[in-house]
Amino acid sequence: MRLVLVLGDQLSQNLSALTKANKENDVVVMAEVMGEATYVPHHPKKIAFTFTAMRKFAAHLRDAGWTVAYSYLDDPENTGSITGELIRRASELNAAGVVYTKPGEWRLIEALGDLPLKTHQLPDDRFIASHQEFDDWAEGRKQLRMEYFYRDMRRKTGLLMDGDKPEGGKWNYDHDNRKPAPDQIDFAGPMKFAPDEEVLELVDTRFGDNFGDLRPFWFATDSAQAQEQLTHWLHGGLPKFGDFQDAMLNDHRFLYHSLISFYLNAGLLDPLDVCKQAEAAYHAGHAPLNAVEGFIRQIIGWREYVRGIYFREGPDYTSRNALDHTRALPAMYWGAATKMNCMAKAVGQTQQEAYAHHIQRLMVTGNFALLAGVDPKHVHEWYLAVYADAYEWVEAPNVIGMSQFADDGIIASKPYISSGNYIHKMSDHCGSCAYRVQDKTGADACPFNLLYWHFLDRHRPRFQGNPRMGNMYRVWDKMDADRRQTVLAEAAQFLERMDAGEVV
Ligand code: FAD
Ligand code: DLZ
Ligand code: SF4
């Protein structure tokens, strides 16, 4: 008899540990443990989502004939860690060893590797590319650009392929996407499901002080509900997904986004199956090619690519700090007041929903942290804690690599920085902000405008030779010297006031 470990983000019937185990003899171990619930101060919605989905999955396994040893958080014998629970169950049940699917975080991979039990780790094959395939693709390349990897994934899956050519003649339709914010949104947003009140009570009691609102809790917590959300979105959201993928609106937090990352990452939806459903919507004439290609690219392109990077780069990836940034994470990230409307909106929505869409994460909270020079480790820990879809394999490359340039350009060929102009173009935030996006200096100047030049100036030796940034430096150099001095002095004063705890 062996133990079969199923972690909180491994809730898939086709999990390798389950398909390789034996229902008659083996015992599935699932455990709610303080170690996993506190390694960062997770948003209460994320904890409630994980525990509810774990409990439902355990019930589902029992119905399917498995024996499940499930540890509730409040069990008096609960040892508080995944490894502790495996050791306890192994001794209780006299198990010969443990079978498990490779976890999505180095932290846990290392802990399981050190278990004083016989263990057998299986690959996590719920992805399109294996580690070997990614490494074969990456080997010998000077730059690991997602676009080329993505094309290989299109060829491998056959998604949106016309023989060996891309559907419609182009691989990437981003040119047709990224329109500014529309006046009206004609999609109601995600489906809302009833919570498990018992789990909410538990989370409220134990984690009620964590950053984030537990209620209202509306996430799907099993695969049937997750599929309902996907179907709902394929009909109402997908057709305009591409057009307004990068837009932000004060009064519409979800726009045309799918809100399925929680479900994909926990194992409630299968990525290839999701993409096939989107492709079918295109072939049935329900959604245009730019939308469907854009969506499929996020999943078989970006999602697979960042996973490849995380495992290829190794456990030290989250400690990288190529730009030597050392500032503490400003209090506004934990809900303290700010006069910057875009920041208040992105953080406020994160606090309420444990969700923000890609451009809010990249071009508002990520952009500000990068411009302000915040220590990327603090930024990484914040993102890992506050989003319900965050596990290190997907969060760290997006934060350390794409957003903070802390990996020295493995993922991004230049830092994702922008002044207030970009936010103004893509959102309606600036109209109701205390700062003026048009002002480049002065008491009301948008802080993104000041910090943008401050960033470029302080990192000049590193970036002035970057061909994609030459234009930025040329514009800076053309400004007269007095004005440049004013911008830098005002940016430094802004940072000083922020560090001193002033509301900025
Ligand atoms: P949609 O916009 O509808 O996109 C569809 C799907 O594509 C998503 O569900 C997701 O599975 C996938 N996807 C899109 N972009 C990415 C990407 N860059 N990397 C991986 N998958 C992607 N995504 C996470 O799943 N977990 C994270 O912890 C996470 N942290 C991020 C941190 C930063 C700084 C940034 C810039 C991005 C991060 N992302 C993360 C990627 C992206 O923001 C989310 O996947 C997306 O916002 C989820 O919302 P959605 O399901 O509505 O996505
Ligand atoms: C996120 C999370 C939380 C909050 N709690 C648990 C838990 O109690 N038990 C568990 O098995 N998994 C939990 N998870 C998900 C794990 O943290 C996740 O499996 C690892 O971080 C690897 O990706
Ligand atoms: Fe954000 Fe600047 Fe616009 Fe205010 S003016 S919302 S700080 S970009």
Pairing mode, strands 67-71 and 98-101: unpaired
Cβ of 347 below 6 Å from ligand 1: no
**Cα 357 to ligand 1 centroid, rounded to whole Å:** 7
Whose alpha carbon is nearest atom 1 of ligand 3?
Answer: 342
Most informative mutation of 50, 238, 261 for ligand 1 (most atoms within 8 A of CB): 261
pLDDT attached to residue 178: 82
Is 47 touching ligand 2 by the criterion CB < 6 Å?
yes
Antiparallel, parallel or unpaired: β 3-5 and 27-31: parallel
Q: Whose CA is nearest to atom 2 of ligand 3?
A: 446
Ligand at minimal distance from the CA of 265 is 1
Over residues 159-218, the pLDDT tens digits come to: 999 999 999 999 999 887 788 888 888 999 999 999 999 999 999 999 999 999 999 999
Q: Are strands 165-166 and 161-162 parallel, antiparallel or unpaired?
A: antiparallel
Q: pLDDT per residue over 396-406, tens digit each?
A: 999 999 999 99
Dump the DSSP string for 126-163.
SSSS-HHHHHHHHTT-SS--HHHHHHHHHHHH-TTEET
For the CA of 452, the nearest ligand: 3
pLDDT tens digit string along 354-367? 999 999 999 999 99
For residue range 153-174, what is the model confidence (pLDDT) as tens digits?
Answer: 999 999 999 999 999 999 999 8
Token pair listed for 165: 């050519």
CB 86 less than 6 A from any atom of ligand 2: no
> Which residue's CA is minimally distant from atom 40 of ligand 1?
395
Nearest listed ligand to the Cα of residue 104: 2
Residue 74 structure tokens:
């409040």
- Which of ligand 2's atoms lies nearest the C-alpha of 82? 11
Q: With a 6 A CB cut-off, is 151 part of the ligand 1 pocket? A: no
Ligand 2 pocket mutation, candidates 3, 4, 6, 7, criterion most atoms within 8 A of CB: 7
pLDDT of residue 182: 85
pLDDT of residue 249: 94
Backbone angles phi, psi at 34, to 5 degrees: -60, -35
The pLDDT tens digits for 61-113 are 999 999 999 999 999 999 999 999 999 999 999 999 999 999 999 999 999 99
Longest Cα pair distance anywhere in the chain, in angstroms? 78
CA of 360 to the centre of ligand 3 (A): 13
On whether the CB atoms of residues 339 and 444 are closer than 8 A, the answer is no
CA of 340 to the centre of ligand 2 (A): 34
3-state secondary structure 382-451: HHHHHCCCCCHHHHHHHHHHHHCCCCCCCCCCCCCCCCHHHHHHHECCHHHCCCECCCCCCCCECHHHHH
Residue nearest to atom 3 of ligand 3 (CA): 430
Percent of the chain residues past pLDDT 70, beyond the cut: 100
Both tokens assigned to 102 = 């490779």
Burial 294-331 (b: 16+ CB within 10 A, else e): bbbbbbbbbbbbbbbbbbbbeeebbebbebebeeebbe
Q: What is the pLDDT of residues 254-268, one digit of tens each?
A: 999 999 999 999 999
The residues, ordered by sequence, that sit 6+ positions from 12 with a Cβ below 8 Å of its Cβ are: 126, 267, 268, 270
Distance CA 409, CA 354 (A): 28
Backbone φ and ψ of 418, nearest 5°:
-155, 155
User: Cβ distance 33 to 73 under 8 Å?
Assistant: yes
pLDDT at 126: 98
Residues 331-349 pLDDT 10s? 999 999 999 999 999 999 9
Q: What digits encode the pLDDT tens for the residues 32-56?
A: 999 999 999 999 999 999 999 999 9
Q: Which of 416, 446, 242, 244 is nearest to 341 (CA)?
A: 446
Q: Count CB neighbours of 101 within 10 A.
A: 24
Which band of pLDDT confidence, cut at 50, 70 and 90, is reported for residue 451? very high
pLDDT in tens, 15-26: 999 999 999 999
Cα 37 to averaged position of ligand 2 atoms, centre (Å): 7
Strand partners, 436: 445
pLDDT at position 174 is 87
For the Cβ of 264 lying below 6 angstroms from any atom of ligand 1, the answer is: yes
Atom of ligand 2 nearest to the CA of 393: 23
CA distances in angstroms from 194 to 52, 104, 354, 491, listed in the order given:
11, 28, 17, 47
pLDDT of residue 317: 98
**Protein residue whose Cα sits closest to atom 34 of ligand 1:** 399
Q: Would you say the CB of residue 46 lies under 6 angstroms from ligand 1?
A: no
Q: If you search the block for the tokens 């499901």, which residue do you land on?
A: 193
List the beta bridge partners of residue 69. 29
Per-residue model confidence as pLDDT tens digits over 462-502: 999 999 999 999 999 999 999 999 999 999 999 999 999 99
What amino acid is encoded at 425 in this protein?
K
CA of 80 to the centre of ligand 2 (A): 12
Within its chain, how far is the Cα of 279 from the centroid?
23
- Give the nearest ligand 3 atom to 419 CA: 8
